[in-house]
Each structure stands twice: as structure tokens, then as C-alpha cells.
């Protein structure tokens, strides 16, 4: 993850300031410091919940200065001038405000602890842009034949939504009892109209799985306004209506966060995203799903250029990397501009630690609208793919239908990541990120159309549970690499004295698939086994090495 210095923030924000001539709407106030704050790093429980602190402790993440809230005296000083405070940001050390009085802006600039004032929104000019541009919905008759699949081996009756979880091989995790229990997902979106009424969410509300809601667009207001987009996004994860629709994380808990103003597209929304991510961190979320993408704005001069999409520049991108550094896995839509003259992943999907999710269809091929990579600095985007063409989603107040867009492929992955992490609770955020990538069907031929491809969650789970990530205290005399392997596999044996070693490869049922004896004379000897195991199919195997009383059993994965 990139480490962004504070000066970068100032550079970005000052670039926006130049557009401020009058006082039409919303602004960002940059403070100079956090001096004389009543908050202390010694008492993080005053600004982070117990669950947030437990997540930090589990992943070895320290509490640092950017965790400290904005000095409340500074906030009060700005409010006293007579403007409306919107959302404070502790990571950038500032606050967004609303005012229509330019004189008040001058008064704010004169405060000794104010570094700068930047315009973030201007109404009534430019072009209207929608964050879900190029997305569309359909009704049940639009479904392709054969999409609904029922299997006697399924623990759950997924109804019409079976394909989208089976495509990523997530059903085995559900069958093993991992449905997202104990995991918290924060959903950053543009409104959740109908989420309270649609019956696919009945059990979610009845069981108290919605932990709370918060609007960053209209602070203090409802999240069940303006757009039903968030409801459709949420359904791919949280729906739990057997026989009709079950999502990828039907037992997870959720925070519904309204960060996107669907009536316009302005820079303020990236700051809302930032504040939403900070809130998700503070309440102890494990995963963020963001079906949002920022490239074009109502004011063309504010548009992100391709050069901006470098993983360091856009405010939402900076926030995404910071929140990942706090131990939260961020899944973000790649965008729907793949067939346009600007086909690149938008912000914050360009962040180097974000799971950027593209869209495929029922044929496992990329949907033409799905945004592509690379980033301007050459990194592969998207990261993985999931169903985003005619995805099964909740529509209206009482039914389901289809939705097309990377907005729906991203939460499919986010929900399944909750189950994967639930199954492997000791893993760190980037362990999950790497296992997800390595399980993709394009992991051997990564490219900027499909990334690492469609993940296989049974394989990702195997990668996390069978490959030792941390060394133990035992002195090993044998090891294999790479693990997982494809065509090449090297067995390294260490010995103090020349000896004969019996090498066996066994299936998970214990059947011997390969056996041979090797005489080792050098202190360290490397044996190439790849050509001898070329006939093995993909799966989990055990390698047994024995010399006298010494026995080593290694778990390995063939891709």
C-alpha cells in the first residue's frame, strides 16, 4: 500500500480552490494541525469502538495521529461563523461545510488554525453525470434459459440467484457453515429506497443484521431516499429469501451509508466517501462495498484525467488506501466505461490495495461495458470479475429482477469475501486480497481486461487454510516451492549427514500417487518434481518426506 504524505493532500485540494469565485454551495476546510486536542492516542476507546480496536489488534495495526478526531474547538470555531458543518474528516484533518455567503468564507480563512478553503460543489452549470451511468435493470422474463439451477447438494435454496454465487464457487463455503456470521460490511452507496420493504430483506431486519444507517449527503437525514441503487447492491449480499434469492453473505451484519448525491456529480461526493470510510473504520467494519466510481463531474474542469488515476491522487483513492491500512478490505466497482473513449477504472478502484471488480456475463466472458486497466502507472486493473450482466437483484418494493453494471459484480465479491474471511479469521486484510487474486481463473495470464479473472472461493479458502503464511517454531528439513504450483515444483531437503529419503505424494484421501527414493549427500539439495507430477489434476495434496525417524508432511496445492 502506498504511503501518502500530508503534502499530497494539500496539493490536490489547492488545485480545487482556484475555481472558487463566489459562494454557491459546499466547501472543504483544511485545518493546520490537531494541537491541544482533547483526544489522545493513549485513549483510542474515546473515538474508536471496541470492535474497531479488536480489528486493529488482531492485524497488528497501531493507532496513529490520523486516527485522532478533528479538534472540536476548531469545528466549533468554524460553526460559530454561521456556516453549516457537514462531515469532519480525521484522516485529512478538515471538515466539509455548506454556505452561500462568500464573506463567511473570508472569515473562515482568517482563523489561525485554517490552512485553506476549497470549493467542492457548484450547482446549475456543466453537465449532469450519474455514478451508475450505463447501468440498466430488467424484469424476470429477461432471464436467459437455464440460469436458475437447483442442486440437492446445496445447503441453501438460492432460487434465481444461484448462478452468481456458483460462478465464483462460493457454495462450498456456505455448505461448510460460513454465511458471513460475525462479519460486518459497510455499504457506501447513493440511497436505499425500498430496502426496508422488499421481502428479500425480511430476515435481515428481523434478525437485527442492519446495525445502523448514516447519511453523509444530508447529515442527520434518512438513507432511504433519492435512489434504490443501494437496495439492489445490498440484495446481492444480504438477500435471504429461500427459493427466490439468497445473497453471498446472508448472515453478515451491515451498515447502510449514504455517501453519493444522485442528483449531481461533484467533488464533494469523494469527501463523503472519505467520511463514510472513516465511519466504517470507527464502528469496526471488516469490509466496505463501494459500487461507486469517480471520473467525470458536472464541472468538466474537475474531471479526473487518466494521469490522475495513479493510485495516489483522487481523494476517494487516498481514502481507500488509508482504510485498507486500518485492516478493512475494500471492494469497489471497476466502472462501466469499458466501451467508451475513456475505458479505464475510475477512482477509487485505481487504489493499489482495493479489490476492483469487473463484470462478466453468464458465458464467463467480460461484459463489454466493464472498465479496464492498466492504471497510469502500469498496475493491472480490474483485480477480479463476477457476474455483472443480468445479475439477479432486488428491484422495487416487492420483487427481484436483473441489473447490469459493475455495481452488482462488486457486492457479490464483497459478500463472498466476508464468508472467506469468516472461515479464516486469523488472516490479515492483504492475505485475503492475495488469496482472492491467486484463485482467479486468469491468475496464470493476468491481463487488463479480466485482471486475475473469476475467483474460485473454494480454492481461495484452500490457499488460506492449507498454505502456512506464518512460520512456526518447528525446524523443518523439507519444503516445497512454489505453493500453489502448476508445472514447476521444487522440493528442498536439508540434511546434516548423507541419507536416503523416501518421497511420496498423497491425495487428500491418503492414496499414494507418486513414490520414489532419493539419496541426498549435500547439506541442501533441491529436487525438481514438476515433471513427475504433471498428471495431477488441480487440487490439494500432501507431500511426505521420510528418512529414518524423520518425517515431514507438507500440504500443497496444484493449480
The pLDDT tens digits for 87-122 are 999 999 999 999 999 999 999 999 999 999 999 987
Separation of alpha carbons 368 and 371, rounded Å: 8
Separation of alpha carbons 386 and 367, rounded Å: 10
Q: Are 95 and 70 in contact (CB under 8 A)?
A: yes
The Cα-based distances of 550 to 116, 208, 349, 475, 502 in angstroms read 68, 53, 49, 11, 10
Phi-psi sector, 322: left (phi>0), alpha (psi -120 to 50), beta:
alpha
| pLDDT band for position 132 (cuts 50, 70, 90) | low
Q: Which long-range contacts (CB under 8 A, 24 or more apart) does 103-107 make?
A: 104/23, 105/20, 105/23, 105/27, 107/81
Task: Please choose, from the candidates 207, 165, 113, the residue with its C-alpha nearest in 3D space to the C-alpha of residue 408.
Answer: 165
| pLDDT band for position 508 (cuts 50, 70, 90) | low
Which of 7-21, 292-306, 413-427, 429-443 is least confident? 7-21
Which one is the CATH code of 136-428+439-452: 3.10.129.10, 3.40.50.200, 3.30.70.360, 1.10.10.10? 3.40.50.200
Which of 13-22, 89-98, 171-180, 359-368 is least confident? 13-22
- Using the Cα atoms of residue 88, residue 94, residue 95 and residue 96 in order, give the sign of their dihedral: negative
> To which H or E segment does residue 320 belong?
helix 315-325
The Cα-based distances of 535 to 492, 529, 531, 558 in angstroms read 21, 12, 9, 10
Residue 127: half-sphere exposure toward Cβ, Cα within 13 Å: 9
Eight-state DSSP code of residue 43 = -
What does the pLDDT average to over 238-255?
Answer: 98
Q: Are 231 and 394 in contact (CB under 8 A)?
A: yes
- Using the Cα atoms of residue 173, residue 192, residue 402 and residue 449 in order, give the sign of their dihedral: negative
More reliable by pLDDT, 497 or 46? 46
Q: Are 412 and 387 in contact (CB under 8 A)?
A: yes
24-38, 349-363, 455-469, range with greatest mean pLDDT: 349-363
**SS3 (DSSP) at 248:** coil
Instruction: Look at the block and give the residue holding cell 504433471.
Output: 534
Q: What is the pTM of this model?
A: 0.82
Q: What angle do CA 543, 548, 549 make, to 5 degrees?
A: 85
The Cα-based distances of 407 to 190, 336, 393, 522, 553 in angstroms read 11, 9, 11, 57, 44
Q: What angle do CA 293, 298, 301 make, to 5 degrees?
A: 95
Eight-state DSSP code of residue 102 = H
What does the pLDDT average to over 52-58?
Answer: 97
pLDDT at 413: 98
| pLDDT band for position 509 (cuts 50, 70, 90) | low
Please check the confidence at residue 140 and state whether its pLDDT lies above 90: no
Q: Residue 263 corresponds to which cell in the numbers above?
A: 442528483
Enter the CATH code of domain 478-558. 2.60.40.3080
**Residue 96, beta-bridge partner list:** 28
**SS3 (DSSP) at 297:** coil
Reading across the β-sheet that carries 114-119, which strands appear in turn?
84-89, 94-98, 26-31, 114-119
Give one DSSP letter per residue of 405-418, joined into a string. Answer: SHHHHHHHHHHHHH
**SS3 (DSSP) at 400:** strand
Domain boundaries, the chain: 6-119, 136-428+439-452, 478-558
What is the per-residue pLDDT across 337-351, written as a single tens digit (0 to 9) for each? 999 999 999 999 999
More reliable by pLDDT, 272 or 12? 272
Eight-state DSSP code of residue 364 = S
Please check the confidence at residue 551 and state whether its pLDDT lies above 60: yes
Eight-state DSSP code of residue 485 = B
| pLDDT band for position 521 (cuts 50, 70, 90) | confident
pLDDT at 432: 95
What is the per-residue pLDDT across 447-473, written as a single tens digit (0 to 9) for each? 999 999 999 999 999 888 754 433 444
Please check the confidence at residue 189 and state whether its pLDDT lies above 90: yes
Q: Are 391 and 233 in contact (CB under 8 A)?
A: no
Amino acid at each position: 500500500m502506498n504511503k501518502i504524505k500530508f503534502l499530497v493532500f494539500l496539493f490536490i485540494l489547492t488545485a480545487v480552490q482556484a475555481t472558487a469565485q463566489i459562494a454557491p454551495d459546499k466547501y472543504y476546510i483544511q485545518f493546520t494541525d490537531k494541537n491541544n486536542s482533547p483526544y489522545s492516542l493513549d485513549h483510542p476507546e474515546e473515538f474508536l469502538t471496541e470492535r474497531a480496536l479488536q480489528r486493529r489488534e488482531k492485524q497488528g495495526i497501531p493507532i496513529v495521529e490520523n486516527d485522532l478526531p478533528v479538534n472540536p474547538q476548531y469545528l466549533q470555531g468554524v460553526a460559530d461563523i454561521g456556516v453549516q458543518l457537514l462531515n469532519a474528516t480525521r484522516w485529512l484533518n478538515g471538515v466539509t461545510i455548506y454556505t452561500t455567503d462568500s464573506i463567511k468564507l473570508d472569515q473562515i480563512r482568517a482563523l489561525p488554525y485554517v490552512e485553506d478553503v476549497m470549493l467542492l460543489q457548484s450547482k446549475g452549470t456543466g453537465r449532469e453525470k450519474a455514478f451508475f451511468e450505463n447501468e440498466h435493470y430488467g424484469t424476470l422474463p429477461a432471464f436467459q434459459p437455464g440460469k436458475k439451477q437447483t442442486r440437492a447438494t446445496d445447503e441453501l435454496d438460492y432460487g434465481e440467484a444461484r448462478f452468481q454465487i456458483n460462478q465464483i464457487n462460493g457454495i462450498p463455503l456456505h455448505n461448510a457453515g460460513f454465511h458471513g456470521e460475525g462479519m460486518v460490511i459497510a455499504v457506501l452507496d447513493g440511497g436505499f429506497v425500498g430496502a426496508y420493504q422488499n421481502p428479500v430483506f425480511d430476515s435481515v431486519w428481523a434478525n437485527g443484521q442492519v446495525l445502523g444507517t448514516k447519511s453523509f449527503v444530508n447529515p442527520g437525514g434518512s438513507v432511504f431516499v433519492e435512489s434504490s441503487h443501494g437496495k439492489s447492491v445490498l440484495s446481492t449480499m444480504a438477500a435471504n429469501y429461500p427459493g427466490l434469492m439468497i445473497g453471498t453473505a446472508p448472515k453478515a451484519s451491515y451498515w447502510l451509508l449514504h455517501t453519493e448525491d444522485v442528483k449531481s456529480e461533484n467533488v464533494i461526493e469523494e469527501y463523503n466517501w472519505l467520511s463514510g470510510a472513516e465511519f466504517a473504520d470507527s464502528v469496526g467494519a471488516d469490509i466496505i462495498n463501494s459500487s461507486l466510481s469517480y471520473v467525470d463531474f458536472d464541472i468538466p474542469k474537475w474531471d479526473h484525467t487518466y494521469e490522475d488515476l495513479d493510485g495516489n491522487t483522487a481523494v476517494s483513492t487516498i481514502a481507500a488506501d488509508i482504510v485498507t491500512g486500518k485492516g478493512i478490505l475494500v471492494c469497489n466497482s471497476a466502472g462501466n466505461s469499458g466501451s467508451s473513449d475513456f475505458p479505464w477504472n475510475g477512482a477509487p478502484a485505481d487504489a493499489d490495495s482495493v479489490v476492483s471488480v469487473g463484470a462478466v456475463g453468464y458465458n464467463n466472458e467480460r461484459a463489454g461495458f466493464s472498465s479496464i486497466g492498466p492504471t497510469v502507472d502500469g498496475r493491472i486493473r480490474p483485480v477480479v470479475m463476477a457476474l455483472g450482466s443480468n445479475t439477479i437483484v432486488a428491484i422495487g418494493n416487492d420483487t427481484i429482477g436483473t441489473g447490469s453494471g459493475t455495481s452488482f459484480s462488486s457486492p457479490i465479491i464483497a459478500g463472498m469475501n466476508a464468508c472467506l474471511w469468516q472461515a479464516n479469521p486469523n488472516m490479515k486484510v492483504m492475505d485475503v486480497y492475495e488469496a482472492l487474486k491467486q484463485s482467479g481463473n486468469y491468475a496464470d495470464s493476468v491481463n487488463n481486461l479480466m485482471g486475475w479473472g473469476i475467483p474460485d472461493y473454494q480454492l481461495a479458502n484452500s490457499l488460506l487454510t492449507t498454505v502456512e503464511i506464518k512460520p512456526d517454531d518447528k525446524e523443518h528439513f523439507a519444503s516445497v516451492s512454489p505453493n500453489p504450483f502448476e508445472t514447476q515444483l521444487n522440493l528442498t531437503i536439508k540434511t546434516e549427514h548423507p541419507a536416503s529419503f523416501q518421497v511420496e505424494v498423497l491425495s487428500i484421501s491418503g492414496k499414494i500417487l507418486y513414490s520414489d527414493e532419493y539419496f541426498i549427500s549435500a547439506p541442501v539439495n533441491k529436487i525438481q518434481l514438476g515433471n513427475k507430477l504433471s498428471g495431477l489434476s488441480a487440487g490439494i495434496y500432501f507431500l511426505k518426506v521420510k528418512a529414518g525417524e524423520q518425517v515431514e508432511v507438507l500440504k500443497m496445492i496444484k493449480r
